Structures are given as structure tokens and as C-alpha cells.
Amino acid sequence: MKLTSLILFLLLVTTNAFAKKIFDAKSFKLRNGLKVIVIENKRAPVVAQMIWYNFGSGVEENGKSGLAHFMEHLMFKGTKKFPDSYYSDFISKIGGSENAFTSYDYTAYYQVFPKYELEKIMQMESDRMVNLTLSKKNVEIEKKVILEERFQRVESDPSAKLDESMRSILFPNHYYGRPIIGWKHEIENLKFDDIIKFYKKYYIPNNATLVLSGDVDFERVKKLSKKFFGKRRKGNPLVYENISDPKIETSVMVEMNHPTVKQSIWKKFYRVGSYKNSINKSLSLEIGLKIIASGSSSILYENLVNQQKIFSAIGGYYQGLTRGQGSVYFYAIPNQKLETDKIDEIINNEIDEILKKGIPKKRFDIEKKKFIFDSIYERDGVLNPAQSVGEAITIGIKLDDLENLNKKIDEISLEDVVLALKNFRKNKNFVIGELNN
């Protein structure tokens, strides 16, 4: 599609986008504290169920990293009523799919399945919230699986090891500086009693949000939620300590050398504000970074890769859907050997020059409309809405703010974006890393 045609098309679709809420979700809360959100979409007889626990690796005690991720694995081990792999086998038998993931701030489990199995799926999810049948044997077996996973994802990947070190320096006082999968030596020392204590303490209804998306009826979901989840006892509410990190007042550079590295990579990680701190400021920063640093169409890529040919690749992106501070990640691959501080200087000077010349209004309008266009795609299917809503709600974004995000995007001006980028350039809370042979 030609650029002018794309702009006209976006203008047409965004007119309707502002007329209604993005997901038009309905919600209620059970007496035991479980939040339930329903997103109706009757286009196909399919349902996505996601249960979001409002904790991830952030609730782990010092010295016991990896517990939340370990527990995620063990949630598939079965209950007395639905033993071993019954739950997973049942989903496979009916042609459905499932998975789970752990983050710093949340742990989530999802299933996609035919609508006629809604009651059974809700029953099984409710059952494993409190009735897991764990043994010391299956905990030790799973520990070996997790250690192998860590080896594959981190120990054998120099880039991942560098990232892990950089984050530990960037967030010296916060759990964001601790790997979600856990430190190897701490995973090895996790005990059966650690697992049971963690499970009983945190897997409770008032720590969870159940999201159902697709061909579901709100009243039926309310009835089934009360039937299966309503009987679960609430526990002590989770209270996150307001932990912050000190300012980084020294120049920090981390270097990782490994014989398997074929090409040097430069990285720079920043601590920045998050969407929970300010939706408007976060939108402005994210739009600005997309314009100057995201992908091969970005200004930095055009100037430093295509024209000046200093780098073979360059990019940057913002991660702001966090309960604590957000992060910005930059990377660059130089075409020839350059000192770390020289790379940093080149990129900083280029960003300053972009801001001095000014971001073209046309470029800004297109990027802003892409945001709105992406939100239209978020409504498509059954899993996307459950993913978007669940993540935002769990880290502390209000449902109403999420539903009206398009209006907030529309209010962002070019001046807002330029100001966000200028403030970002003043940010001294960063760590630089280099990966070499």
C-alpha cells in the first residue's frame, strides 16, 4: 500500500476507533477477591482463558531466586481430581492449546479451546490453584529441567549472560536486577519445602485476575466463576514494598568476551519511567523511540547504517509495562572496531542532531496512527485481548485507562514527543555493555 493511501486508510479507521472502547470489557469481583474480566467476541466458537497472578519473581526471598518460575513448571503436575498431565492431555484432545510464562511482576497461564468446554476448563484451572499434588521426586526432576533451561537460555548464550550482568548493575536494589529464571546456584539449593510454602502463600484468589475472551457470555462466566473459584479461600493480600534504586553517578561499562562471538555488539540499558507512572509520558517516549530507533525505517538506521555505514545494525526500544521502573534498550553492531565510548558518542550526537533539526510532523503523524492501528489488531482473535488486558491490569493500569488508550494517544502532540526524547537524553541512569570475541 502506498504511503498516502495508508495515511488516508488510517484516518478512516481511527475515526471509528475513538467512538468506542478498545475491548469493551466487563468485569466483576468475587467475595474472595478474585477479579474476573470478560471480553465477548462471538465471531468464532472459541474461548481463551488466562489467569494472571499479580506476582512473578518479585516476591521471592533473597537467596531463593527462580521460585516463581519453578512454580510455573510445577503447576502442570496435576491434582488428585485431575492427576499428572490430565489437564494438558484434555486440552490437546479437544484441539486446544496452552502455555504459561513468568515475568518480574506476574505469572500467567492460558488455554485456547472450543467454547463448549468452558465449564470443564474453568473447573480444572480452579482446582490446580489450591490442590496440586506435589512430591519431592517430581520437584527434583523438574529442577533438572529448569537448570537445563537456564543452561540453554543463559549459560550457553554470551549475549544473554551480558544482559543478565547489565541488569544486575542497572537495578542494584530492585528485583528487576535478579534473573527471572533464577541464579544457577540458588536454583540448585531450592528445597521441596520452599516450593510448598511459596505455593500456599501466593496461589490464592485475591492474588489473581481471571480473563476470558471470545465466544463467552458474561452472566454464564459470572455463574461458573462463583461455582468453581468462589469456593477458594482468600489469603493474606500481597503488598509490594516500594523499593527504588539509587541514581547511577558513575560511568559503568560491562564487557563480555567469548570465543563463540563472531561480531561485536554494543548495548546500552537505561532505567526510565513506566506506563504505571504516567501513560502520557510513556506514550510520548515510546512513539519518539519508534521514530528514531525502531527497525530499519528508523532515523538512526537510515543515517548511521544506510548513509554513513558506521553500523550494520542499530536499534532501540522501550519496555514500560512494569510495576516498577521501565527500561530502554539500545544496541549497535559496528562495521569496524570502535571503542565503546566512541560508539556511545556517535549515537548520542546523532540523536542530538535529530532533535536539533526536528522530527518531521508527517513522520510523527504516521507513527501515532500506527499505534491506533495496532490497537485495532489487538481486538482481533481471542488470545490477544486477554493478553493485553491481563498484562495491563496486573501491573496496575486501570481498565478504563486501557479501554480509552486511543483517546490518550490522540492527545499526544509532537511537542510531547520531542520533550520526552530531550528528557531521555538527560538520563544518566544507564549501563553500557560490549560483547566481544
Q: Which of 217, 192, 46 is nearest to 116 (CA)?
A: 46
Residues 399, 77: Cα–Cα separation, whole Å: 33
CB of 432 within 8 A of CB of 268?
Answer: yes
For 53, list phi and psi in degrees, rounded to 5. Answer: -90, 130
72 tagged catalytic? yes
Strands (E), 286-351: 311-319, 326-334
Q: Which of 158, 123, 196, 425 is nearest to 292 (CA)?
A: 425
Rg (CA), the chain: 23
Residues 269, 247: Cα–Cα separation, whole Å: 14
Q: Judging by DSSP bridges, how do beta strands 35-40 and 208-214 pair with one another?
A: parallel
Q: Which of 154, 178, 110, 108 is nearest to 324 (CA)?
A: 178
Q: Which of 90, 57, 59 is nearest to 72 (CA)?
A: 57
Residues 96, 91: Cα–Cα separation, whole Å: 5
What DSSP string describes 40-55? E-TTSSEEEEEEEES-
> How many CB atoms neighbour CB 307 within 10 A?
9
CB of 245 within 8 A of CB of 173?
Answer: yes
Residue with grid cell 539449593, as numbered in its chain? 189
Q: Which of 40, 60, 61, 72 is catalytic?
A: 72
Helices (H) and strands (E) in the chain, counts: 17, 11
Active site residues: 72
